[in-house]
Amino acid sequence: MLIMTLTACAAGNDLAGTQWQLTELNGSAPLASAEPITLSFTSADQAGGNTGCNSYRGSYRVAGSSLTFGPLASTRRACVDPGLMTQEAAFLQALGAVTTYELSTGQLVLKDGSGTVTLRFTRM
């Protein structure tokens, strides 16, 4: 019975196994970089991706439309463009402030505690 319960919980997470590319950060398009900013939900509780400069990973939790990320670890390469470093910091801060999400037609929208859209992604 316990296995069936765990399976039902995992099946209810519609983010697991999806990959996304950032299209909007705090109302603006992201700066162009050699690597796009991405977010992948690799399992029922692990997420990660690329900030455009560094890779990151950590845990996440979904409950209904609620989404929260645990502490995120990232590599520490220095970006050539200082603007990319600033953008990376804003992206990771926005991820840490996420409280809810919406999925619609190939888009993932993440909102903070005040309901403001902070991150918008397109499915990869």
Residue 124 one-letter amino acid = M
pLDDT digits (tens, 9 = 90+) for 40-80: 998 879 999 999 999 999 999 999 999 999 999 999 998 88
| Cα-to-chain-centroid distance, residue 87 | 14
Domains of the chain by range and CATH? 2-123 (2.40.128.270)
Of residues 93 and 3, more confidently modeled: 93
Q: How far is CA 6 from the centre of its chain?
A: 24
Q: Can you tell me which residue has the tokens 């953008």?
A: 87
Between CA 46 and CA 17 the distance in angstroms is 10
The amino acid at 71: P
Query: Could you tell me the pTM of the whole model?
Result: 0.88
Residues in the chain: 124
What percentage of residues in the chain have a pLDDT greater than 70? 90
| Position with higher pLDDT, 10 vs 76 | 76
DSSP characters over 83-95 = HHHHHHHHHHHHH
Q: What's the mean pLDDT when you consider all of the chain? A: 91
Written as six digits, the tokens of 96 are 């840490």
Both tokens of 12, joined, read 């209810």
